[in-house]
Amino acid sequence: MIRVAVNGYGTIGKRVADAVAEQPDMEVAGVAKTRPNYEARAAVDRGFPLYAAVEERAPRFEEAGIDIAGMVDDLVAEADVVVDACPSGIGAENRSLYETYDTPAIYQGGEDADVADVSFNARSNFEEAQGADHVRVVSCNTTGLSRLLAPLLESYGVEKARITLVRRGGDPAQTGRGPINDILPNPVSLPSHHGPDVNTIFPDLDIDTLGLKVPATLMHMHSVNVTLADAPTAEAVTALLADESRMFLATPDLGVDGTAAAKELALDAGRPRGDLWENCVWSESITVEDDDLYLFQAIHQESDVVPENVDAIRAILGEADASSSMATTDEALGMGL
Ligand SMILES: NC(=O)c1ccc[n+]([C@@H]2O[C@H](COP(=O)([O-])OP(=O)(O)OC[C@H]3O[C@@H](n4cnc5c(N)ncnc54)[C@H](OP(=O)(O)O)[C@@H]3O)[C@@H](O)[C@H]2O)c1
């Protein structure tokens, strides 16, 4: 069994820990937190050994009546691999800790690309992460775009991608984020950081991205235009995407008219936390005009990177190839709606 440490047990970290616990070849060695809050209690309830991430704050756990198994250093030392899911920037600060104990590490998309040897998306460049010591799973938006672009590149070739990203203002629990009542060009200048981030996965891809922020918390929405080298029919693109395990096609019969219904569908399906790990592509939006493909896809920012982190664990340890890792991850999670 691969013993996985999760350092940073928030929105992404707690989901990754649960996903790891579901895998047949992995177990959670422990999770690290700075505060004894409700998430700390949930970790203990789930049976995950809990470690203090900041030495001076360790006594607070005991004061709150929560037993800890030790300090984060102990966890990193004994784990086979660590998934760092700390807030943006903290992962880079933690890198020296992982190097001290020679523990391979996986970082999240809030870190700069140079935190790691490789930026990672399982569908697109699994092999590049095999045997690396430091791997960055790209952001939720870049993950969603990579999953879409990989099969398009393979099947038709891409001349140019133009994506407008309508981004949620914050996650549901992020009470301090916004806007509350506005539509922000964000960033106002082009390109948004997403295009260059996609280029960490596909260096030669010609891509322009524009970003907005809106008063929503559930998901991001991408308005996609891709000029293809060999133009297929819309039906062929639909069939291509339907074949991808991490794409969910919202067909008209389902009546999923937006991100709220997509989230409700995931909740009704019994998904943990109502997570939609797949890209949600509206099949009716898939249109081909001359060489140009158009579509809308929604990205559940809190969860689409979760299966990617699980695959990154197998990649970094050289434990599987892309298709077998993705199949194992998907089956253990219950992917498919
Ligand atoms: N949320 C998203 O939509 C999303 C999507 C894709 C990627 N990401 C990326 O994933 C990373 C984590 O984001 P997130 O949304 O999960 O953040 P988050 O919800 O704020 O969770 C991070 C957790 O790390 C803990 N923490 C803070 N400092 C720490 C330290 N020094 N050591 C250990 N734990 C520490 C905090 O909890 P305590 O202080 O209570 O321990 C916090 O809850 C970021 O790089 C982000 O850009 C986020």
How far does the centroid of ligand 1 lie from the alpha carbon of residue 89, in Å? Answer: 10
Smallest Cα–Cα separation from 115: which of 141, 133, 140? Answer: 133
> Residue 166 carries which side chain, given as an amino acid letter?
V
Q: What is the pLDDT of residues 199-234, one digit of tens each?
A: 999 999 999 999 999 999 999 999 999 999 998 999
Supply the residue whose CA is at minimum distance from atom 28 of ligand 1.
Answer: 86
Of the chain, the percentage scoring pLDDT greater than 90 comes to 99
Distance 96 CA to ligand 1 centre (A): 18
**Residue pLDDT, tens place only, 136-177:** 999 999 999 999 999 999 999 999 999 999 999 999 999 999
pLDDT number for residue 168: 98
pLDDT at 85: 98
Atom of ligand 1 nearest to the CA of 89: 45
Q: Is the pTM of this model over 0.85?
A: yes
Q: How many of the other CB atoms lie within 10 Å of CB of 204?
A: 7
**Which residues of the chain have a pLDDT value below 50?**
none
Query: Does any ligand 1 atom lie closer than 6 A to the CB of residue 174?
Result: no
Strands (E), 229-318: 247-250, 279-282, 287-289, 292-299
- The pLDDT assigned to 10 comes to 97
116 CB under 6 A from ligand 1?
A: no
Active site residues: 140
Q: What are the start-end ranges of the E strands in the chain?
A: 2-7, 26-33, 50-52, 70-71, 81-84, 105-107, 118-120, 134-137, 158-168, 184-185, 207-214, 220-228, 247-250, 279-282, 287-289, 292-299
Per-residue pLDDT at 243: 98
What is the atom index within ligand 1 of the atom nearest the CA of 37? 40
Q: What is the DSSP pairing of strand 50-52 with strand 220-228?
A: unpaired
Residue 169's CB is within 10 A of a number of other CB atoms, namely 17
